[in-house]
């Protein structure tokens, strides 16, 4: 018998502290880099009831920290890959 349920730790968003996938979106609206805020890009679904497949953000709400679907407000690429917001919180 292998109970892997007890091994699973909930993934908490480092911005808002809420368990990822358990809320409608992140309460953190900006990336903070060098003490300057940059407005984040909220999730936009094709239909109003769409949710982000990775972090569960609802349409028009912000992604949680580390979501691979989030767009970079600077260059428009995936923010986890472009590095513009590296070190931002
Ligand atoms: Zn969050
Ligand atoms: Zn997301
Ligand atoms: Zn970028």
pLDDT value, residue 34: 86
- Tell me the CA–centroid distance for residue 81 and ligand 3, in Å: 8
From the CA of 59, the nearest ligand is 2
Let me know: does 85 contact 11? Beta carbons within 8 Å: no
Does an H or E element contain 79, and which? helix 79-82
From the CA of 55, the nearest ligand is 2
Per-residue pLDDT for 53 more than 90?
Answer: yes
The DSSP 8-state label assigned to residue 80 in this structure reads: H
**Residue range 10-39: average pLDDT?**
94
Rounded to two decimals, the pTM is 0.85
């Amino acid at each position: 018998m292998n109970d892997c349920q007890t091994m699973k730790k909930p993934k908490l968003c480092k911005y808002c502290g809420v368990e990822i996938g358990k809320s409608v979106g992140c309460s953190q609206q900006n990336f903070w880099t060098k003490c300057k805020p940059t407005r984040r890009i909220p999730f936009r679904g094709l239909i109003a009831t769409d949710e982000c497949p990775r972090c569960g953000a609802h349409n028009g709400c912000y992604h949680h920290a580390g979501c691979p679907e989030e767009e970079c407000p600077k260059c428009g690429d995936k923010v986890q890959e472009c590095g513009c917001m590296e070190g931002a919180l």
